[in-house]
Amino acid sequence: MDDEKTIRLTKPITLKGDSVTYDVITLREPTVDELDRSAQTEGSAYASNAALIAMVGNIPLAVARKMGKANYEEATAYLSGFTWQPPLSGGTSGTDARTSPGSTGGDPTTSAS
């Protein structure tokens, strides 16, 4: 995974009353805190993703929310490499990976070989 991803906006964005025009957004690896804060954003997945794009791209949230769909998809595709969906309550990760060498994965009927 690249350390950064530069996205050239299809349609540059200038916020009302602002002299800055955003035509390029550079995303970086999000911190755990940024992932957590974006996950707590109220609203849809779009709102949560827009919040994360704004945080890691160091842009106003309003700019992230005005991005075109293609640019949004490019940004979320990059950021999805840093995110994971936690298992549902009481569920597992869906893998049968061992937790440590020689582990039976918690199954006492399986011998570690």
| pLDDT for 103 | 44
* Cα(17)–Cα(102) distance, integer angstroms: 62
| Residue 93 located in a structural domain | no
Tell me whether residue 42 is in a domain.
Answer: yes
Position 10 in a domain? yes
Please provide the distance, in angstroms rounded to a whole number, between the alpha carbons at the two ends of the chain: 34
Of 18-27, 45-54, 56-65, 83-92, minimum mean pLDDT range: 83-92
Domain that holds residue 61: 4-82
Kindly indicate the confidence band of residue 63, based on its pLDDT and cuts at 50, 70 and 90: very high
- Give the lowest-confidence range in 45-54, 57-66, 68-77, 90-99: 90-99
- The pTM score is 0.72
